[in-house]
A = this chain, B = another copy of it.
Amino acid sequence: MNHNISSKSPIGIFDSGIGGLTVAKAVMDKLPNEDIIYFGDTARVPYGIKSEETVSKYSTQIAKFLIGQGVKMIIIACNTASAAAFKAVQAAAGNIPVLNVIDAGTAAAIQSGKKVIGVIGTLGTVSSGAYDVSLKQANGALTIKSKACPMLVPLAEEGWTDNEVALQTLDIYLSPFRNNGVEALILGCTHYPLFKQPIQEYFAEKGLEIIDSAESVAAMAENKLDGLNLLNDNTNPGAFTCYVSDRPQRFHELAERFLGREPENVFVESLKD
């Protein structure tokens, strides 16, 4: 499929829910003049418990919606969809480049030059081994140590990112990484950038490198668009438009927390099964 895209076209970003707004924020920070269209599949979240086939179907529906909005690039912000649906989304996207957070986090880990890589993520992401596969493919000599941190998503959604409960939870999950030789730690979940500062402080003395896959995919997007001569040369701040498949409880409060500002243009868009 061929699509007419130009440097003025928006960047499309999608996630199973609103966590991917941390990726939207990272892209905005890196490329402030780009228009961004975000899709959060809030009606069907979470993807982590669904079959690969279902995640692939949902992701393709969203990709087609974004293509219909004229995007020049698709960023898969969801770790589950990155693992299960990258090829399907690429097939649907034709000549439109598709990036995903797992490949971006992997690329950043490789660039760090570290040999022992830690990965934290949801139960679904960690048990899928998606980062292990991707990292080992990039460099078979890497040692990878992963840990599922199921409490961090609900903590982020409750807005508890640096209170006593959050710090104690981080200590329970992260203490093994203090003495297991890990030199760089990938934040392998869209919600985790909200804990970046307390995690950095936790490891301050160890000098562990923290790899934020939201920032990694934003950097990858800049490189890719630059290479394709598709960077927007607008001098005004880009527009941000947010689509959700359902308006969840406390949507605006959560969106503001993840995006770092209130999203102005929010539309509910039901996708067909």
Contacts and interface: CB of A to CB of B under 8 A. Distances in A.
Interface residues of A, number: 25
Given A154-B151, A154-B154, A168-B165, A249 B43 contact: no
Nearest to A17: B49
A154 B160 CA distance: 14
Contacts of A246: 49
Interface in A118-136: 123-124, 127
A96 to B, nearest CB: 30
Contacts of A50: 43
Interface in A223-273: 246, 248-250
Given A43-B49, A150-B154, A151-B158, A123 B165 contact: no
Query: What is the count of identical protomers in the complex?
Result: 2
Given A43-B49, A153-B154, 16 more contacts: A42-B49, A45-B49, A49-B248, A49-B249, A123-B250, A124-B249, A150-B157, A150-B158, A151-B151, A151-B158, A151-B160, A151-B165, A164-B168, A165-B165, A165-B168, A165-B172
A17 to B, nearest CB: 10
Contacts of A165: 151, 165, 168-169, 172
